[in-house]
Each structure stands twice: as C-alpha cells, then as structure tokens.
A and B are shown apart, each in its own frame.
Chain A
Amino acid sequence: MFLADYIKSVYNGVTSLLKGMRMTGYYFVHPKEIITQQYPEVKQVLPERFRGEVVMTHNENNEHRCTGCTACELACPNATIKVVTRFDITPDGKKKKALETFVYHLELCTLCNLCIAACPTDAIRMAQTFEHSVYDRKLLTKRLDKPGSKLMEGVE
C-alpha cells in the first residue's frame, strides 16, 4: 500500500512537471505568441477611453467652449484645476463672467474624469497622450486655453 502511494506520488509529480515543460516548450518554439511591445518604435493603439491628460478643445477659429463657470474646479478632488475668470461688459451693459486663463496641474491630476463629467458645455476632454515625463516639474503646469482664444458663439 505504502509503496503504491509512493510510486503514485512520483508519477504524479513527474507528469505534472512534464506538462509544465510542454507549455514552456510550446512557447519557446512559437515566437508568434510573444506579447512584448517594442515601445518607442511600435506604438500601441490605445483604447478610445484611455485618459492621458485633460485638454481644452478649440475649433479652427481659435474658439473654445469654456464659459468660466468653475464647475470643473469645484468638481476636482485634488485642486488640479484653477480657473481664472474676468468680468466682461456685454453690449447691453450687463456684467458677464468669462474665462481668463485655465490652469491645469498635470502633476496633481489623477485622471479621474470628474472635471469632464462636471463641465456643462463639454469644453474639456481627455487626450490620449501619455509621454509626460519632463526634467522640470514646472513644465507640467499647463495653460489649457490657447492664447488669444475666445468663447465660441452661442455657448452659454
């Protein structure tokens, strides 16, 4: 009885090890299975919903859709966004809030998407860029609205 168990344990051990060797042997002779991506030369197509950084959309006339409502700033959990606003005087004499600068600290951003969900006018979105490494941390503080841009017509 003891001997039978002993031989069985040896047999089971050897067969399971051989099974493992068959697997690795299969991989060894099938280089097609390799999943390594040769990053800088071959870049992967990222999924559509990949979040790289927050950007502001501008159209060809250098117009953006941000009204300066600061909803995104309030929604952000870690104070990544700083919306600086000014008051424009409309032709009929009323004061109206407008965007002065939109400051974005990439180094603080967790890419949680809350700001984008909060924006009532779809002014900002996520971009797919991900190569953000720089030698100076200051370079990660970005101004998202392009210089000289203005509010798109009809966005309230």
Chain B
Amino acid sequence: MLSLENLTHTIDQALNRSFGPTTVLLVEMAMLSLFAIALFAVLGLVLVFMERKVSAYMQIRLGPNRVGYKGLAQTAADTLKLVIKEGLTPDSADKFLFNLAPFVVMIVAMLLLAPIAFAKGCQMWDMNIGVLYITAVSSVSVIGILMAGWASNNKYSLIGAMRSGAQIVSYELSAGLSIISMIVLTGSLQLSTIITSQQDGWWIFKGHIPAVISFVIFMIAVTAETNRAPFDMAEAESELTAGFHTEYSGMRFAFFFLAEYVNIFVVCAIAATIYFGGWMPFHIGHWEAFNHIMDFIPSVVWFTGKTFALIFLIMWFRWTFPRLRVDQLLNLEWKYLLPIGMFNLLLTTAIAILGWYF
C-alpha cells in the first residue's frame, strides 16, 4: 500500500546508498525545512480562506467569492498584495527588535512543527519529551510579541503586548494542567507512544469524564494562547487598533498573521494527537473487523481530518462568543479554569491509579 511512511523510507534509503551519513543528514534537513516552509505557506492560504468562509456563513454572509473559482484565489491575491506593499519602520522604533520580532514569532511557530506526527511514521523529530517540548517552545512566542510591542514605540502596541503577555502566561497554566492530566493516563511524553497507546480507542473515549473536562479546558486555554477572539485582548481592534502589530505593514504584518494561523494548526494538531489519537484511525476496543475497515483510510487523512475539525471548532468559538474584558479574562482563568483543571488532575490521577478507564 502506498503510504507516506514507505515514501520517506524509500527516499532515506536512496540517499543513503549514494551519499555519506553527514550529507544525507544535511540533505534531509534541507528537505524538511523546505517542507516546513511549504506547509507554512499552504496552511496560511488555506486557513485564512477557511476562516473567512466559515465566519461569512455563520454571519449569514457569502464571504469572498469573486477571485478565482468561488473565491479560492482570494487569499493568494491578498498575499500578493502584502508582498508588494511597503514594509514601513516607524522613525522612533527600535529598528533591530522591530525587524526581528516577526521572525521570532514565525520561528517559534516553525519549531512547533517538529514533533508533530502528520501520518504514520511521518514525524520530523520523535523526541521522548515531545509534549514538554511543545509547551516549552510555544511560550517563547510571547517574547516575540512583547518584542514587537516594545520596539514599535507605540502605546497601543505596548498595551497589546502587555495584555498578551498576561494572557499567555496565565492560560498556559491551564493548558499545561490539562495536558498533564492526560499524560497521567498515557504515561509518556513521547508523541508516538501517546498515539500508539490509543490503538484500542481514543483517549477522549477511554478517559471518559476527566478526559472530556480536560479537553474542554485545553481548547479554551489554547484559544486564549493563540490570541484569538473571544480572547483577542492583545489585538482588540476596537480598543487598540491592532495591538502589538499596529505598526507593522506588508510582509512583516503577514508573518504575524501567518504565525497566528500556524499556531492554531499546531495546537489543534496537539489536541488531536492527545485526545483523538493523532493519525490513529477510529478503533473500538478489540473489534478486529471494524478496526481493520477503519485502517483502510490513510493515516494522513485521519490526522488532517481531526485537526481541521478542531480548527473549525475554534473558528466556531470565534464567530459566536462575545469578547471578554481583561478582568473577566483573568477571572475566567484564575477562578474557573485553573481550579477546575487542578480538581480534574486529581480526578484523573485517582482514576489512573484505580484503573477506572478503558
């Protein structure tokens, strides 16, 4: 059967036959970085278009439908426009940090792609602390945002960046706690192990109540971490014009935008991996026949399907819920999500010890 695993193996072997190990490593790294950049571009185009269409349909509008077939070329046209636009640097900005910030945010988003398993045996770096790596690296993006806000020398930017800092730092706790409660069940931080542990059912079903609670908390927390509405205090068009990227234009603005969408993809991919089994097809216990039928659907389809379903969920949040005030935002985290998350961790631990999961 044709699968991505075979493909990567074939390429690896072909390279190994003709070159030395160092060259192979370099070539493969170059190929992977190309893949990451291509994925970035594609994700940006697809997700922006998806968001615009989803928001339009939810608001009883049509959305972009003029450029290309049914508006499909709209985001490409927008990107072209952004590339042509002048990238302005304000006179009194800290030039070095100002120009560096978009790249910091971008690079963080790219680094997060490393441990994600896109399909069976299709993972860039299967390290044994995958989940820890993701939570650690994703918090670096706040530095990029603070950098942008500070270097712009603009009050709106600074306030936006500060809000974003407060928000990301506090919501990371809940996201971390809900991941930890799942780690208690899986017993491993390695993403490939987490996925194989869901061979007889996804954790959201196997872990029943605590898993569902932890999933809900995780989704809320990552929506806040990616600075999306209803938690878009960092951008807050109505109060801060555009928050930390007020002063950015052209391609550097697009980098922030792109990083935001790739971050959404990454967090949804992680949620899909931890709660819905990543590329693991829908298996029920030991019903061999049923499981076998499910295996016929390629793993990459399972992975992208789950991830995009979760992305749709996050978009659904954005276009339904009212925005929160800053104090409400912190209230929600510290008075609701965090205590519930801690309680849930306790519950999960008890269940894991007693073996009350499937």
Are A34 and B60 touching (Cβ within 8 A)?
yes
Are A21 and B60 touching (Cβ within 8 A)?
no
Residues of A within 8 A of B58 (CB): 24-25, 27-28
Is B336 interfacial (CB 8 A cutoff)?
A: yes
Expressed in whole angstroms, the minimum distance between the Cβ of A122 and any Cβ of chain B is 42
Is A10 interfacial (CB 8 A cutoff)?
A: yes
Are A27 and B57 touching (Cβ within 8 A)?
yes
Are B62 and A38 touching (Cβ within 8 A)?
yes
Is B319 interfacial (CB 8 A cutoff)?
A: yes
A31 CA to B321 CA in the complex, in Å?
A: 21
A6 CA to B319 CA in the complex, in Å?
A: 27
Are A36 and B320 touching (Cβ within 8 A)?
no
B53-80 at interface with A (beta carbon < 8 Å): 54, 57-62
Is A23 interfacial (CB 8 A cutoff)?
A: yes
Residues of A within 8 A of B62 (CB): 34, 36, 38
A34 CA to B62 CA in the complex, in Å?
A: 7
Residues of A within 8 A of B316 (CB): 21, 24-25, 28
Partner among B57, B317, B319, B340 whose Cβ is within 8 Å of the Cβ of A31: B57
Is A35 interfacial (CB 8 A cutoff)?
A: yes
What does the 1/0 interface line of A3-36 toward B look like (CB < 8 Å)?
0000000100000010011011101100101111
Residues of B within 8 A of A38 (CB): 62
Max chain B Cβ within 10 angstroms of own Cβ: one of A10, A25, A28, A35: A28
A23 CA to B59 CA in the complex, in Å?
A: 10
Are A36 and B61 touching (Cβ within 8 A)?
yes
Are A20 and B320 touching (Cβ within 8 A)?
yes
What does the 1/0 interface line of B229-272 toward A look like (CB < 8 Å)?
00000000000000000000000000000000000000000000
Closest to B62 in A: A36
Closest to A19 in B: B320
Are A35 and B60 touching (Cβ within 8 A)?
yes
Are B320 and A17 touching (Cβ within 8 A)?
yes
Given known pairs A10-B336, A24-B316, the reply for A34 and B321 (CB within 8 Å) is: no
Q: How large is the interface on B (under 10, 10 to 19, 20 to 34, 35 or more residues)?
A: 10 to 19
A28 CA to B61 CA in the complex, in Å?
A: 10
Residues of A within 8 A of B340 (CB): 10
Closest to A37 in B: B62
Residues of B within 8 A of A36 (CB): 60-62
Max chain B Cβ within 10 angstroms of own Cβ: one of A20, A23, A24: A24
Given known pairs A10-B336, A28-B54, the reply for A23 and B61 (CB within 8 Å) is: no
A108 CA to B177 CA in the complex, in Å?
A: 65
What does the 1/0 interface line of B115-143 toward A look like (CB < 8 Å)?
00000000000000000000000000000
Given known pairs A34-B62, A36-B62, the reply for A21 and B320 (CB within 8 Å) is: yes
Partner among A10, A17, A27, A31 whose Cβ is within 8 Å of the Cβ of B59: A27
Closest to A31 in B: B57
Residues of B within 8 A of A34 (CB): 57, 60-62
Residues of A within 8 A of B60 (CB): 27, 33-36
Residues of A within 8 A of B54 (CB): 28
Are A23 and B320 touching (Cβ within 8 A)?
yes
Are A28 and B336 touching (Cβ within 8 A)?
no
Residues of A within 8 A of B61 (CB): 34-36
A27 CA to B59 CA in the complex, in Å?
A: 7
Closest to B59 in A: A27
Residues of B within 8 A of A17 (CB): 320-321
Residues of B within 8 A of A23 (CB): 320
Residues of B within 8 A of A24 (CB): 58, 316, 319-320
A35 CA to B57 CA in the complex, in Å?
A: 10
Closest to A14 in B: B216
Closest to A26 in B: B58
Residues of B within 8 A of A25 (CB): 58, 316
A97 CA to B60 CA in the complex, in Å?
A: 57
8 smallest CB-CB distances across A and B, nearest first, come from A24-B58, A36-B62, A24-B320, A20-B320, A28-B57, A21-B320, A36-B61, A33-B60
- Sample of 8 more A-B contacts, CB < 8 Å, known A17-B320, A21-B320: A17-B321, A20-B321, A24-B316, A24-B319, A27-B58, A28-B57, A36-B60, A36-B61
16 intermolecular pairs with C-beta atoms under 8 Å apart: A10-B340, A20-B320, A20-B321, A21-B316, A25-B58, A25-B316, A27-B57, A27-B58, A27-B59, A28-B57, A34-B57, A34-B61, A34-B62, A36-B61, A36-B62, A38-B62
